[in-house]
Structure 1
Amino acid sequence: MGKIVLENIKLFGFHGCMPEEKYVGSHYTINLEVEFDFYKASINDDLSKTINYVDLYSIVKKEMNINSKLIEHLAQRIIQRIKEDNKSLVRYTKVKICKENPPLQGNVDRVCVILDDCD
């Protein structure tokens, strides 16, 4: 068993319940972990035996371009898409999405949600 981890993906998106969040947008930081058996890939040096991290990044980027009221919903969509695209390989997926400088009545650097899903 092994993991591919994408750390600190920086993207911009329009997620939130407040009207200004849908027009102004915000910066987001995303961390992603995908656990699966990549023993064959590690022995054979064969990309077809693993999950390509370029594809994982593409999934995150595409889902970030679909507006959501809740980043919880966004996290669930990312996990579902990864599972759909890699049905036979994925054992466990975890995503952490942080909205940088959230529109709160206080001084908060970020608000994060963490969602994990295991088969």
Structure 2
Amino acid sequence: MKTIFRRIIDRELPADVIYEDERCIAIHDIHPVAKVHALLIPKKEIPRLSSAEAGDQELLGYLLVVATTVAAKLGIAETGFRVIINNGKDAGESVPHLHLHLLGGEPLGWKHGGSN
């Protein structure tokens, strides 16, 4: 069964797309926990960070570079932003498809955890 993120990537579900290329897509989170809350999702399906393999190293680094591009596009690169990866149930992971939360647009305390 496809995850919600695979269905968004495959255009089976709508999403507010901020950025897209051949390797990833960035969308606005539908349940934001900060003024700015985007999700960066690799098109390659990796269930979670702990499932990544040595061959995924370049993609993982690429996602961090894209995070800065998306932060600039959203106007939060200069004021600061947070990148979060939830790994497993105890971390708040609810979709088994690796993704990064990009938070900003306001001073962030530790209450800004990000789920999904």
TM-score by length of 1: 0.26
Q: Which has the higher strand share?
A: 1
Q: Highest CA radius of gyration, 1 or 2?
A: 1
Q: Comparing both structures, which one devotes a greater share of its residues to helix?
A: 1
